[in-house]
Chains A and B, each alone.
Chain A
C-alpha cells in the first residue's frame, strides 16, 4: 500500500489501521453474534444431554453422536437426504442445460423465452410448494386430472411411501431450473466466439459442435452448479415441511427436516440430539466445499 499522499507512515498509519478495523466491525459483530458464537454453541450443545424443558443437562461426551450412527431412523435420514440430492441436482442441471443450449441457437423470440424460463427463479420455496401442493392434490389436482384423460387411476403423489420423495424432488427440480438456467445462459453468452467460429469453419455443427466444443467450455459452470446445487439441496426444508411434513413413514425426512423435527416440532426441544445432526450437516457441507476448492477444481477445463 503505497499512497502518494505521504501520510500512511508513523502515527497516521497506525490510526488508519484502527479505522480499517472500525469499517470491518459492523459486519464482524453480526458474524460473531449470529454465526461464530452459534457455531461454538452448536458444538457445545451436541455434547450435552437435554432435559424436558430443552435445557442442557450436562456433558455426555459423544453419546449423541454414537446414538446417531446406531439409530436406524437416522441412517434412513441420511439415505433420504442422499437420494433427494441426487434426484434434484442432476435433473435440474440437465433440463436447464437442454433449455440453455436450445435457446442458444438462432431461434426467434429468444428474449421472451429467456425471461419466461427464468420465472421459476422468482418463486420462494413456500409459493412454489403451495402451488405444487394444489397440483399434487389426489382428489382434484391437475396432475391426476391429466392422467385421467390417459385412463390412469388417481395417484397418491404425496402419501404413497414409494412415491412421495420423487414428487417432492420433482417440485424441487422445478424450483432450481431458473437459477441453473441463468448461470448456464451467462456461461454460454461468454463463450469465445472465435473458437466457435473456427470449429464451424472446420465443419463442426449441430450435436458435434455442442458435444466437442461447447460442453468442454461449459464445464466450469456445470461444475459450479453441481456444487452449489448439492449444498442447496442438502439445506432444503420448506418444500418438505409444506408438502409432506417428512412423511409418509419418514420417507421424506431429510437431514434438515430431521433437525427441525428433533428441535422444534411438537415442542420436542431435543436440542442436544438435534445439534449433533446439525454438526453432521455442517461437516458434509464443509467437505463438499473443500472438494470444490481443492481436488476437483483442477480437473475442470478452464481456459
Chain B
C-alpha cells in the first residue's frame, strides 16, 4: 500500500509539472494581455501584473487594426462555411442512405477522395480562380471553396444509418416527401451529429490562416486571424496590446472547446471512415 501511495504522489507531481508547462502559454496570453509595458518590456519580464492592470490594451488593439471589421468578416465567414457545410452534407448524406443512388460506391469514392487531397497542394489554382472571378476581399471568396466536405457527409451518414427504417416508411406513407422528411424529421432527430459537424466546421473556419491570407489584401476585409498576426509585426514594443488582440480572436473558440467538448469528441473519429 505504501508503494502505491508513493506512485500516486509521483503521478501528481508529473501531472503538475505538465500542467504548468502546457497551460503556461494560455496563462501568459491572458495575463499578459492585461500587463503594461513596464512589466512586459523589462528584463526579466514579469510573470504577473506587478505594475497595475491595463485593460486599455484591448482598446488600443481595437484602434490599431480595423478589428471591428475583421471580427465581422470572421463571423460571416464562419457562419457561411458552417451553414453551407451542414446543408450540403445533409443533402449528400441523405442521398447515400435513403435514396436509390446509382453507382453508390463510385460516388462514395469521390467524396472520400476529397478528404485525401491537401488543400495546400491545390491552393494556387484556387487563388487564381478566386482572383479571376473578382472575389478577392469578399466573403464569397473566403467561403466558396469550403462549402462542402467529405468529413461532414460521412459524419451525418453515420448518424442517418441508425435511423429506424419503420419510422421513415411511416413518414413516407403519411405523405412526407424527401425534402420534408429530411428537414422536419430526420435532421431534428440527428441534432447531436449536426452539432458535432457545426462545431468542427466553425472551429476550422474561424481558425483558418493560409487561405484568408491569400484571398484578402485590404486590411478592412481581412479576418481576425490575419489581423492579429499583423498586429504582432506592426507593434512589437507592446506585447500587452498584441496579446489583447490574441485574446479577442481566441474568445469564441475557447467557449466552443470548453462547452462543446462532448460534440468535439463525437466528431473525432468520424474523420477516419473505413
Query: Taking beta carbons and an 8 Å cutoff, which residues of A are in contact with B?
Result: 1, 3-5, 8, 13, 16-17, 19-21, 23-24, 26-28, 30-31, 33-35, 37-39, 41-42, 45, 95, 98-99, 102-103, 105, 107, 113, 115-135, 137, 139-142, 144-146, 148-149, 174, 177-178, 182-183, 186, 206, 224, 228, 231, 234-235, 237-238, 241-242, 256, 259-260, 263-264, 271, 274-275, 278-279, 281-282, 285-286, 289
The one of A3, A103, A235 in contact with B15, judged by C-beta atoms closer than 8 angstroms, is A103
The answer to whether the Cβ of B121 comes within 8 Å of any Cβ in the partner chain is yes
Partner of B14 from A34, A102, A134 at Cβ < 8 Å: A102
| Interface contact A127-B116, CB-CB below 8 Å | no
**A27 and B153 contact, Cβ closer than 8 Å, known pairs A126-B225, A224-B272, A285-B116:** yes
Residues of A within 8 A of B172 (CB): 3, 5
* A144 proximity list for chain B (CB < 8 A): 43-44
A31/B23 in contact, CB under 8 A: no
Chain A residues within 8 Å of B105, by CB: none
User: For the complex, would chain A's binding face be called helix, strand, loop or mixed by DSSP majority?
Assistant: helix
Q: Is the CB of B225 within 8 A of A124?
A: yes
On B, residues with C-beta under 8 Å from A are: 4, 7-8, 11-12, 14-15, 18-19, 22-23, 25-26, 28-29, 32, 40-45, 47, 87-89, 91-92, 94-95, 99-102, 107, 110-111, 114, 116-129, 144-148, 153, 169, 172-173, 178, 203, 206-210, 213-214, 225-226, 228-229, 231-232, 236, 239, 242-243, 245-246, 249-250, 253-254, 256-258, 261, 264-265, 268-269, 271-272
Which residues of B sit under 8 angstroms from A38, Cβ to Cβ?
122, 124-126, 129
Contact: B23 with A131, CB < 8 Å?
A: no
**A253: min CB distance to chain B, Å:** 14
Docked Cα-Cα span, A37 to B117, in Å, equals 12
A contact residues around B99 at 8 Å (CB): 16, 19-20, 23
Known: A235-B118, A278-B120. A105 touches B8 (CB 8 A): yes
Taking a contact as CB atoms under 8 Å apart, the answer to whether B26 and A119 are in contact is: yes
5 A–B contacts from the bound complex (CB under 8 Å) = A34-B122, A126-B249, A144-B43, A235-B118, A281-B120
